[in-house]
Amino acid sequence: IYKDIHEKKQAEEKLKESEEQFRTITEQSLLGVAILQDEVYKYANKQFATIYGRSIDEILNLKPGEYMSLVHEDHKEYVSEQAKRKQLGLKDQTNQYEFKGIKKDGEVIWVEIFSKTIMFENKTADLILVTDITDKKRTEDMLKESEQKFRIMSEQSLLGIFIVQEEIFKYVNHQLAEITGYSIEEMLSWEPKVLYKKLIHPDYIHILMEQGAKKQRGDSDVIIHYQFKGIKKNGETFWADMYSKSIQFQGKTADLGTLIDITEKKIAEEKLIESKNNFEKIAEQNLVGLGILQDNKVKYINKKAAENFGTTREELLNMSFSEFSKFIHPSDLNMEIEFIKETLSNPEKIIEYQGRAIKSSGEITWNDVMIKQIQYEQKPALLGIFRDITEKKKAEERLKESEEKFRTIAEQTFIGLAVIQDGRFKYVNQTFADTIGYTTKEILNWKSDKYLDFIHPDDKEYVLERTKKIFIDKNSSISQNSFRVYKKSGEIIWIETNAKIINYEGMPALIIAQMDITEKKLAQEILLRSEKKYREAYERENFYKDLFAHDMNNILQGILTSLELCALTIKNTEKPGNILEMLNIIREQMNRGSDLVNNVRMFSEIESSKPTLKELNIIEVLKEALKVVEKSSLQKEQKIKIETSKDSVLVQGDQFLLNAFENLIHNSVKHNDKSIIEIFLRTSILSKDAQEYLKIEFIDNARGIPDSKKESIFNRGFKEDKSVSGMGLGLSLVKKILDRYDAKIWVEDRIPGDHSKGSNFIILYPLLN
């Protein structure tokens, strides 16, 4: 028993010692360490708590399952699954993974986890090692972004760009493919070192292979810049100027190179050398001054150059530079000395500048100067080319003075002035800016063609078309071009512009003069509306005059004829005739006159009033119209039937709706020659273009309407037909009333193809939503 107790004590002491060592190691560890058991943290070191922005107590006091509050929503499901598997000691565990965590203050961090199942206090638990990899993730994102930017710049570059690693192309851009004639896919598929055989002229293969190998190894003793002769896919040779250096690419050293095709430049240089022997002969006949400076002395100068300096060739030849400097303006001397030094130190350098010279007479002249290092008599020398631009300079000064005057006038004028070149504003005066509500600085900073945004969409095509014409015919101009624009505030104004092509800073440009004519436009619109109202009133008056003159004459003539027949009948006692029938004719003519007056009155009222619509039950209105017609038409037997599935259908309408239905039904009665008048009204609901309509059919057995008149019977208004007759006025009035409600009306044959059997007048009336 004593032995067992002793061994147990030793085991406990070893366990305690082991735990102390574990705590000592973990408390000093740079890794966060925690033990998760039964969905709670049983242990956490300080680094673990620090990573999540909490204290150790806060970590250990989390309730079961609350450990997931440390995990971002995007990764909770995965992390929870892994934690449960390890706490239970299940297989198929992932021991290392990354996820987004949440600090106490809500900051999102990235962590990397190393975890596994362990035995802790005689139960399985999840041992977790965690490290904050937020900075690493940001670096990876930045690297990815940098690579994307490199590819974007590379694909748009005028330089051929490549990366060589392990003697094969890892990357080539489109421009390199253009230069060599190979496709990108071809070059990326080449075996090691094939690129040298395919692209490099034999004279340069050795040096390029040697330099390429060094840069792929990362050696320091390399040549960064050189020129070589290459071979295109079609066998044609070309010259290239190349820069290359060692870089790290996908974790390995590689050679990054950029090159540009300088074949034309090389050809030009060769031609220059070839023409050296004839140089002096050509130089003496040249219209520009030529001179050669070598060993600090004037070795050659042509007659034209000597004239530029107001002296002779003989005086200048073999003159030292210090003596020659008296012909250079003192303010330009230091600049020219620096240019000479720069050119002599760089054989490829060509420098162009403008400088002042002082002639022997003291006159100051301006020259365009180009200097370049050449080989003269097998030694380096400086070639100078001089062209007198004194008159050009004076003209520029005059132009500058003229521009200053223009700006002075432009800034004080009440007319907006602007110059547009290459789609951008190059100049705007204050008046132009004030007109559209922007500052001059804002307008000048607009990107190319941004000015199109302030033109009203309905006028943009018109403005572009007119502008395009003057760019085609540069001698033409735009005068009194009126269109709408948006001010910065969003307000729409009218402007009137005059435009012309000018030469601005050596290039074609569009000069625009503009004025705000909004008030003028408004005045014109008011005048036009006034003229339109007067014209409509005049035409309406003529319409009513023609109507009464024509139809009332017909009605009165019918009454007069009937009265004369009555008088004759009464006198003729032998043939008394049917006086009652004649009186009925008179009554009918009187009714026609009454209808005519009512319809004209209603036309006038509709023309002069604006619709004031209200909610109506259209079925009730329809039934009321039937009652009115039935009471007023008793001469013939009538069979009128209405079929409707609903007693109440709500629409928007007004007091004229009843008149429309009465006119339509009365029309079927009035123009019916049958002994029995049949009228059938049918309603139904239908949908069309997401709108519900009530379809109303007025079906009669009247004389019908031929196809040739099915449209014209609704169009006999005062504008469409001056030769009116009252017969069609009722239907014209019906259509005019229905137009107020956005309702449609048309007529079909009751029996398709046979108009003589009667008509079907159809109305589509929009329902309330």
Q: Name the band, by pLDDT with cuts 50, 70 and 90, for residue 88.
A: very high
- What letters, b where the CB count within 10 A reaches 16 and e where it falls short, cover 19-47? eeeeeeebeeeebbbbbbbebbbebbbeb
| Count of Cβ atoms closer than 10 Å to residue 468 Cβ | 9
Helix (H) / strand (E) element for 138: namely helix 134-156
CA atoms within 13 A on the CB side of 17: 6
Contact 684, 695 (CB under 8 A): yes
* The pLDDT of residue 107 is above 60: yes
Contact 160, 258 (CB under 8 A): yes
Mean pLDDT lowest among 220-234, 305-319, 442-456, 544-558: 544-558
Burial of 163 (0-12, 13-18, 19+ CB in 10 A): buried
- Alpha carbon distance 523, 654 (integer Å): 35
Report pLDDT for 267.
Answer: 86
Q: Which residue has 């079927």 as its token pair?
A: 668
Q: What pLDDT is stored for residue 182 in this prediction?
A: 96
Q: Average pLDDT for residues 111-119, to the nearest whole number?
A: 92
**DSSP code of 325?**
G
Residues facing residue 130 across a β-bridge:
32, 113
Q: Measured between alpha carbons, how far is 548 from 557 in angstroms, rounded to an integer?
A: 13
Pair (384, 433) in one structural domain: no
Q: Are strands 676-688 and 637-643 parallel, antiparallel or unpaired?
A: parallel
pLDDT at 724: 33
Closest CA to 253 of 223, 218, 222: 218
Q: Which two tokens stand for residue 126?
A: 């999840």
| CA dihedral of 82, 86, 88, 93, whole degrees rounded to 10 | 70
- The residues with which 684 forms a beta bridge, in sequence order, are 695
C-beta of residue 245 within 8 angstroms of C-beta of residue 258: no
What sign for the dihedral angle of Cα 632, 633, 637, 641? negative
Sheet of 40-44: strands edge to edge?
40-44, 32-37, 123-132, 108-120, 96-102
Exposed / middle / buried, residue 541 (Cβ in 10 Å: 0-12, 13-18, 19+):
exposed
Residue 95's identity, in one-letter code, is N
pLDDT of amino acid 749? 94
Residue with tokens 């400097």: 325
Return d(Cα 260, Cα 240) in angstroms, integer.
6
Read off the pLDDT band of 277 (50, 70, 90): low
Which residues does 124 contact at the CB level (< 8 Å), separation at least 6? 37, 86, 87, 88, 89, 117, 118
- Report whether 54 contacts 106 (CB < 8 A): no
Give the end of a domain, one of 516, 547, 578: 516
Q: What is the distance between the alpha carbons of residues 406 and 428, in angstroms, rounded to a whole number?
A: 12
**Residue 15: its pLDDT value, please?**
56
Q: What is the mean pLDDT of residues 77-93?
A: 90
Final residue before a domain boundary, out of 516, 548, 583: 516
* pLDDT for position 587: 60
248 and 311, same domain (yes or no) = no
The first and second tokens of residue 338, run together, are 């620096």
Q: What is the DSSP string of 165-224?
A: ETTEEEEE-HHHHHHHS--HHHHHTPPTTHHHHHHB-GGGHHHHHHHHHHHHHT-SS---
Split at pLDDT 50, 70, 90, the class of 725 is very low
Residue with tokens 């004459």: 553
Query: What is the token pair recorded at 267?
Result: 């050809």
Task: Give residue 477's pLDDT.
Answer: 77
What are the two backbone dihedrals, phi and then psi, of residue 112, each rounded to the nearest 5 degrees?
Answer: -115, 130
Q: Is residue 596 part of a domain?
A: no
Query: What's the pLDDT score for residue 549?
Result: 47
Pairing status of strand 492-504 against strand 507-516: antiparallel
Summarised one tens digit per residue, pLDDT across range 165-198 is 999 999 999 999 999 999 999 999 999 999 999 9
Location of structure tokens 């032998």 = 574
Q: Return the pLDDT at 564.
A: 62
Classify 132 as helix, strand or coil: strand
Mean pLDDT, range 575-587, rounded to an integer: 59
Q: How far apart are alpha carbons 635 and 684 in whole angstroms?
A: 31
The reply to whether 230 and 336 lie within a common domain is: no
13 found inside a domain: no
Element (H, E) at 113: strand 108-120
Q: Decide if 464 is inside a domain.
A: yes
pLDDT tens, 418-469? 888 888 888 888 888 888 889 989 989 988 777 788 889 998 888 888 888 8
Pair (365, 474) in one structural domain: no
Residue 188 lies in a domain: yes
CB atoms within 10 A of CB 767: 15
Task: Name which of 738, 712, 596 is nearest 654 in CA terms.
Answer: 738
CATH number for the domain harbouring residue 288: 3.30.450.20
Least confident of 103-107, 193-197, 477-481, 571-575: 571-575
Percent of the chain with pLDDT strictly greater than 90: 38
Q: What span, in angstroms and rounded, lies between the C-alpha atoms of 260 and 246?
A: 19
Residue 282: which pLDDT band, with cuts at 50, 70 and 90? low
User: Among 87-96, 332-341, 348-357, 710-719, which stretch is predicted with the lowest mean pLDDT?
Assistant: 710-719
Question: What mean pLDDT do residues 100-117 have?
Answer: 93
Tens-digit pLDDT profile for residues 593-651:
565 556 666 656 666 667 789 999 999 999 998 887 777 655 678 888 999 988 899 99
The strand order across the sheet containing 364-376 reads 297-301, 289-294, 379-388, 364-376, 350-358
pLDDT category, 528, cuts 50, 70, 90?
confident
Are residue 219 and residue 93 in the same domain, yes or no?
A: no
| Together in a domain, 403 and 486 | yes
The token pair at 415 is: 């007319």
Q: Which residues neighbour 745 within 8 Å (Cβ) at sequence distance 6 or greater?
A: 714, 734, 735, 738, 761, 762, 763, 764
Average pLDDT over residues 340-345: 90
510 and 651 in a common domain: no
E strands, 572-690, are 614-617, 637-643, 650-653, 676-688
pLDDT reading at 240 higher than 90 = yes
- Residue 12 has which token pair? 């406990």
Q: 92 phi and psi, to 5 degrees?
A: 55, 50
Q: What are phi and psi of 646, to 5 degrees?
A: -130, 145
Which residue do the tokens 């307008």 mark? Answer: 443
Work out the mean pLDDT of the chain and round it to a whole number: 83
Residue with tokens 């748009």: 156
Q: Residue 133 and residue 530: Cα distance in Å, rounded?
A: 78
Most confident of 132-146, 154-168, 186-200: 186-200
In the structure encoding, which two tokens stand for residue 694, read together?
């009530």
Top-confidence range, 285-289, 338-342, 583-587: 338-342
If asked whether residues 153 and 67 sit together in one domain, one would say no
- Return the residue matching tokens 């009228």: 679
pLDDT at 722: 38
Q: Looking at residues 485-514, what average pLDDT do you find?
A: 87
| Residue span of the structural domain in which 440 resides | 394-516
Residue 501: pLDDT band with limits 50, 70, 90: confident
Amino acid 656: pLDDT? 84
Residue finishing a domain among 388, 420, 436: 388
Same-domain status, 381 and 465: no
CA distance 128 to 93: 13
Residue 219 CA to residue 705 CA, distance in Å, equals 102
Question: How far is C-alpha 150 from the geometric centre of its chain's CA atoms?
Answer: 26
Q: 739 pLDDT exceeds 80?
A: yes
543: in domain: no
The answer to whether residues 640 and 757 belong to one domain is yes
Position 20 in a domain: no
Per-residue pLDDT, 719: 37
Q: Which of 654-663, 685-694, 758-767 is the least confident region? A: 654-663
Task: Say whether both 240 and 283 belong to one domain.
Answer: no
* C-beta of residue 365 within 8 angstroms of C-beta of residue 397: no
Q: Are 242 and 259 in contact (CB under 8 A)?
A: yes
Number of domains present in the structure of the chain: 5
- Backbone torsions φ then ψ of 709, nearest 5 degrees: -115, 5
Residue 83 confidence (pLDDT) above 60: yes
CB count within 10 Å of CB 565 equals 17
Contact indicator for 89, 122 with CB cutoff of 8 Å: no
Report the CATH number at residue 755: 3.30.565.10
Confidence (pLDDT) at 720:
37
Question: Tens of pLDDT along 57-66?
Answer: 999 999 999 9
Kindly tell me the number of DSSP H helices and DSSP E strands found in the chain.
Answer: 25, 27
Strands 32-37 and 637-643: unpaired
In whole angstroms, what is the distance from residue 766 CA to residue 686 CA? Answer: 10
**Residue 601 counted as domain residue:** no
Sequence-distant contacts of 715-723: CB under 8 A, at least 24 apart:
717/543, 718/539, 718/540, 718/542, 718/543, 718/544, 719/539, 722/542, 722/543, 722/546, 723/546, 723/550
Q: Is residue 551 part of a domain?
A: no
Average pLDDT estimate for 117-137? 91
In a shared domain, residues 450 and 477: yes
Q: What is the pLDDT of residue 609?
A: 65
Cα–Cα distance for residue pair 220/642, rounded to 1 Å: 104
Banded model confidence at residue 718, pLDDT cuts 50, 70, 90 = very low
Q: Rounded to 5 degrees, what are φ and ψ at 117?
A: -80, 135
326 forms bridges with which residues in the sheet? none
Residues 172, 161: contact at Cβ < 8 Å? yes
C-alpha 709/C-alpha 295 separation (Å) is 107
Task: Tell me if 167 sits within 8 A of 199, measured CB to CB.
Answer: no
